[in-house]
Amino acid sequence: MANSPFLNALERYMITRRYAKRTIKSYVYWVYKYILFHNKQHPKDMKERHVEHYLAHLANEMNVAPSTQSLALNALVFLYREFLKQPFKHTLNFNHSQQPTKLPVVLTQLEVKTLLTHLSPNVLLPCQLMYGSGLRVMEVTRLRIQDIDFDYSSIKIWQGKGNKNRIVTLAPELKPALLAQIEQAKTVAQNDLNVNNYAGVWLPFSLSKKYPNAAYDPQWHYLFYSQKRSYDSHSHNAVRRHHIDESGLRKAIKSAAKAALITKNVSCHTLRHSFATHLLQSGADIRTVQEQLGHSDVKTTQIYTHVLERGANCVTSPLSALF
């Protein structure tokens, strides 16, 4: 892949438009696999039927998960629409991957409470936000100071999954801890201004053009900041301070679950699943939960009603009648 001028050009194109590193890596990978599947034909010489054939191959022969097939589709749509400027002229027709939908792992409220008590102080607050506000791990790590709205007890999520924006609830009990974290983050941001070659906090390309001084404004800096500054790989000698790494939170959650003797397969996303399920349990409307989670389709949110319907005292076992 590294020796392909075409793929290198695609990667550079995405870098200049500030796509996430993970997205760039995934899209380049699936474009590479698409080209290999069609015997290294150039994508500009292929049509919709080639894309359909490849996506069907992923479902029929490779038996990939629906999410994997969707990722490959997104990569190819981007390739043709954005990079090659040859958007598809009609809706693609291909076999979709069909695999049983997995029920999410959900903790009880007591399990959540126990899990949180086993977290170290440096990761407790972001984990409390994942459960208390239903945030994805990438959303909590990318929070900026100004995203916290104490007046309306809410958090603004910008460019979440699918580049969607939304406003979520904020537990008032977290206000003291958040205020302390904000003060720490502001102090670090102010001190960084005195560092040689400091280029401010990273901003999406469109925002950096619209607000040229925002990168140096503490309000734009990350709430959960990295302990170390680093060089910006896209700018010569520019120094920035990034947000905390997602992997640190993932490892902390796994370790806390083990220490708490929780046998379920717990991850960061388990806190988001638990947030949604507990909201529904408390009587929240499913549309409200959908908005809080940022789901485009309510059908995605309905998976949490299945968790409640398949247990949680909603169905009486016939065995109970024998006692």
Annotated catalytic residue 295: yes
Annotated catalytic residue 304: yes
Annotated catalytic residue 269: yes
Annotated catalytic residue 161: yes
Contact in structure between 35 and 50 (CB atoms under 8 Å): no
Contacts by residues 312-321 (CB-CB < 8 Å, ≥ 24 positions apart): 312/281
Annotated catalytic residue 243: no
Residue reference for tokens 């916290």: 148
- The single residue of 272, 278, 299, 306 carrying the catalytic annotation is 272
- The single residue of 42, 81, 161, 175 carrying the catalytic annotation is 161
Q: Please count the CA atoms within 13 angstroms of the CA of 217 that sit on its side-chain side.
A: 12
Contact in structure between 233 and 101 (CB atoms under 8 Å): no
Instruction: Tell me, rounded to whole angstroms, the distance of Cα 26 from its chain centroid.
Output: 14
Kind of pairing between the strands at 166-169 and 230-231? unpaired
Annotated catalytic residue 229: no
- Where are the strands (E) in the chain, listed by range? 148-149, 154-157, 166-169, 230-231, 239-240
- The single residue of 27, 131, 225, 304 carrying the catalytic annotation is 304
Pick the closest to residue 224 from 155, 304, 312 (CA basis): 155
Q: Quote the radius of gyration of the chain (alpha carbons, Å).
A: 23
* d(C-alpha 114, C-alpha 79), whole Å: 46
- The single residue of 54, 136, 240, 278 carrying the catalytic annotation is 136
DSSP string, 107-159: --HHHHHHHHHTS-HHHHHHHHHHHHH---HHHHHT-BGGGEETTTTEEEE-S
Contact in structure between 140 and 130 (CB atoms under 8 Å): yes
Give the residue numbers marked as catalytic. 136, 161, 269, 272, 295, 304
